């Protein structure tokens, strides 16, 4: 649920604003809305410092060996972070240059070891040495004034050294000599390898200070928030005032604390024009969806509805259908278990792990019901039947997807209608429900060849009547009906396409199983040749094929499973995800 908020105006004495803000941060309740741009030298400087610490944290996270990095940092935080960033940059530069050196060594090794400076000194003396690639048939055309030394051959091309007294184009492809000799390049490569090893060791040792850097980063973030709050406050004579929001349940506690400190305050309910932050609070099993919403940066507006419960229920069902394989579900489950055990101690919020346990379990359940375990065909060939054979019937499963879509959208309009009560506009949502089920019967008739029921026409007529006369809050229902004719036709088409769009669950789920079967058949075909090498190739095909399919399955869930919830369902419910998180001004920052 979205926690109700109160709007608060806080008045502070200008001379004591800094001390008062420090005390306000200790309360950690007020989400401050700036009254003017929170600019200032301190803000920009702290922003740059935070960016450096962010880079350092990312670098140290990749090198950290100890679970938490418990050693305290004795050096200056920013100096240490700049040093870590510089070390990583130096390491990256050395890696890049080493690749260039290796390429140059491979390229010039056939030419032998020579000193490029000698080539320059010979040129100063009037003797020009050129490294050329000459077609074999063109060698005879080189004049006697040029000495030719063939070093090595590549097909029909001779790699030659041409020596002459004239600095004129040779007419052949010329190679610029390297800056260093082969021995110098190899020595430099060895030196760089030693330098990289030293830097790696330093970064591994510095990984133990990651926790200290994180603590310092939190302090910098608090200071930046402090100056943003101070510079963003409005001034009125000897007073400064802040505008903000806090949970209604904390209003009495906050007002009591403010009065004890001698500050001025008044609170009121937010209106429709206020940009109120959103604080979601759900039961633990519903809150598992929060990491996904955070990943997608989806926050419902304060005046919108929290769909977390329906999101996690339908998204889990969609995940099971889209993956559709018990074997893949088991892989996801085991991988999630391994990551949870290995890295769970570093992560405070473990909701993502439990969400993936739920999702992978749904994939396993659907796979067991359809008899699919790393593909379906090989199980059927062994005589193993699915627990629910009807789910392998393509016509039934398509109709089930249409039904799932109609049910999903019906819940959206039913919820929306209940919120509107006792307004008559709630009847418009009842009309849309009638139209959605008419669209379901129409999709069944046109796509699957089912009969259109006699009640279908009645649903369309009843739905149109309810939508036309009650969609608008205007008192004159006939005027409302006339004004709604312009959009009703387009909305009818949209409702039909929205119901039909749920067939993507069937199509993608079928494709996942088909790809798995294709790789199984490829491997079986290779095994039939019956030797050791073909057996290894078959195992490679199975591993690579199923790993690719497992990755594609996750991508399909992000594309299709999320879309059906975030677009189709939310567009019918009226959720536009226009909100932003409640972030109170506090000393402790995440």
- Rounded Cα gap, residues 88 and 95, in angstroms: 10
Distance, first Cα to last Cα, the chain: 22
**53 CB burial (10 A radius; 0-12, 13-18, 19+):** buried
H-helix or E-strand spanning residue 310? helix 308-323
Going by C-alpha positions, the residue among 129, 136, 138, 177 that lies closest to residue 158 is 136
Tokens of 163: 């020596």
What SS3 string covers 459-500?
HHHHHHHHHHHHCCCCCCHHHHHHHHHHHHHHHHHHHHHHHH
Tokens of 208: 């133990």
Going by C-alpha positions, the residue among 527, 548, 547, 545 that lies closest to residue 536 is 527
- Rounded Cα gap, residues 564 and 313, in angstroms: 13
Rg of the Cα trace of the chain?
A: 35
pTM: 0.79
- Rounded Cα gap, residues 570 and 553, in angstroms: 24
- Rounded Cα gap, residues 72 and 134, in angstroms: 65
- Rounded Cα gap, residues 565 and 557, in angstroms: 11
Reading the chain (590 residues) residue by residue, the pLDDT tens digits are 899 999 999 999 989 999 999 999 999 999 999 998 888 888 999 999 999 999 999 999 888 765 554 678 878 999 999 999 999 999 999 999 999 999 999 999 999 999 999 999 999 999 999 999 999 999 988 888 899 999 999 999 999 999 999 888 888 999 999 999 999 999 999 999 999 999 999 999 898 888 889 999 999 999 999 999 999 999 888 899 999 999 999 999 999 999 999 999 999 999 989 999 999 998 888 888 988 998 888 999 999 999 999 999 999 999 999 999 999 999 999 999 999 998 887 788 888 999 999 999 999 999 999 999 998 878 877 888 889 999 989 999 999 999 999 999 999 999 999 999 888 889 999 999 999 999 999 999 999 988 888 888 899 889 988 888 887 655 555 555 555 555 677 778 888 999 999 999 999 999 999 999 999 988 888 887 766 677 888 889 999 999 999 999 999 998 999 999 999 999 999 999 999 999 999 986 55
Residue pair 149/160 in contact (Cβ under 8 Å)? The answer is yes
- Rounded Cα gap, residues 585 and 590, in angstroms: 12
The CATH T-level fold of domain 1-34+233-276 is Alpha-Beta Plaits (3.30.70)
Residue listed under structure tokens 């200790």: 26
- Cβ atoms < 10 Å from Cβ of 352: 18
The DSSP letter of residue 300 is: -
What is residue 70's predicted lDDT score, i.e. its pLDDT? 64
Residue listed under structure tokens 């796979």: 367
Domain boundaries of the chain, sorted by first residue: 1-34+233-276, 37-106+188-226, 114-180, 415-497
The four Cα atoms 426, 428, 432, 437 give a dihedral, to 10 degrees, of: 80
- Rounded Cα gap, residues 373 and 367, in angstroms: 6
């Amino acid at each position: 649920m979205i926690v109700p908020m109160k709007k608060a105006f806080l008045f502070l004495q200008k001379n004591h604003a800094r001390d008062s803000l420090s005390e306000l941060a200790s309360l950690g309740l007020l989400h401050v809305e700036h009254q003017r741009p929170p600019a200032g030298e301190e803000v920009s400087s702290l922003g740059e410092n935070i960016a450096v610490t962010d880079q350092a944290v990312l670098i140290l996270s990749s090198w950290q060996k100890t679970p938490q990095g418990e050693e305290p940092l004795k050096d200056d935080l920013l100096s240490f972070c700049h040093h870590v960033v510089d070390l990583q940059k130096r390491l990256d530069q050395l890696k890049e240059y080493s690749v260039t050196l290796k390429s140059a060594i491979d390229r010039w090794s056939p030419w032998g070891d020579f000193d490029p400076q000698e080539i320059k000194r010979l040129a100063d003396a009037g003797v020009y040495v050129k490294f050329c690639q000459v077609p074999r048939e063109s060698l005879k055309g080189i004049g006697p004034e040029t000495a030719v030394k063939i070093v090595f051959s590549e097909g029909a091309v001779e790699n030659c050294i041409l020596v002459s007294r004239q600095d004129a184009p040779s007419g052949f492809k010329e190679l610029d000599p390297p800056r260093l000799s082969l021995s110098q390049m190899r020595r430099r490569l060895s030196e760089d390898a030693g330098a990289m090893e030293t830097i790696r060791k330093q970064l591994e040792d510095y990984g133990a200070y990651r926790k200290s850097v994180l603590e310092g980063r939190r302090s910098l973030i608090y200071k930046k928030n402090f100056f943003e709050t101070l510079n963003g406050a409005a001034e009125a004579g000897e007073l400064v005032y802040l505008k903000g929001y806090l949970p209604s349940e904390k209003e009495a506690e906050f007002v009591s604390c403010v009065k004890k400190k001698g500050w001025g305050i008044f609170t009121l309910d937010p209106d429709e024009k206020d940009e109120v932050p959103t604080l979601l609070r759900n039961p633990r099993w519903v809150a598992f969806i929060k990491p996904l919403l955070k990943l997608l940066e989806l926050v419902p507006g304060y005046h919108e509805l929290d769909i977390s419960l329906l999101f996690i229920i339908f998204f889990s069902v969609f995940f099971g259908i889209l993956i559709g394989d018990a074997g893949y579900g088991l892989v996801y489950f085991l991988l999630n278990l391994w990551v949870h055990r290995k890295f769970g101690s570093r992560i405070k919020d473990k909701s993502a792990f439990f969400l993936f346990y739920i999702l992978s379990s749904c994939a396993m359940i659907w796979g067991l019901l359809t008899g699919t375990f790393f593909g379906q065909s090989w199980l059927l060939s062994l005589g193993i039947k699915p627990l629910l054979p009807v789910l392998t019937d393509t016509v039934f499963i398509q109709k089930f997807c249409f039904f799932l879509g109609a049910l999903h959208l019906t819940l959206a309009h039913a919820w929306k209608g209940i919120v509107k009560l006792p307004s008559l506009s709630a009847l418009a949502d009842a009309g849309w429900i009638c139209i959605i089920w008419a669209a379901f019967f129409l999709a069944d008739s046109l796509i699957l060849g089912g009969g259109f029921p006699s009640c279908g026409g009645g649903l369309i007529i009843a739905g149109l009547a309810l939508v036309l006369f009650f969609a608008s809050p205007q008192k004159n229902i006939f005027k409302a009906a006339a004004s709604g004719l312009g959009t009703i036709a387009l909305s009818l088409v949209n409702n039909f396409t929205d119901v039909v769009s749920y067939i993507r669950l069937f199509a993608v789920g079928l494709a996942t199983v088909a790809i798995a079967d294709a790789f199984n058949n490829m491997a079986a075909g290779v095994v039939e040749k019956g030797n050791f090498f073909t057996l290894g190739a078959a195992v490679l095909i199975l591993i690579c094929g199923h790993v690719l399919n497992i990755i594609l399955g996750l991508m399909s869930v992000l594309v299709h499973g999320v879309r059906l919830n975030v677009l189709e369902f939310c567009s019918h419910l009226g959720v536009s995800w226009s909100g932003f998180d409640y972030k109170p001004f506090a000393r402790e920052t995440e």
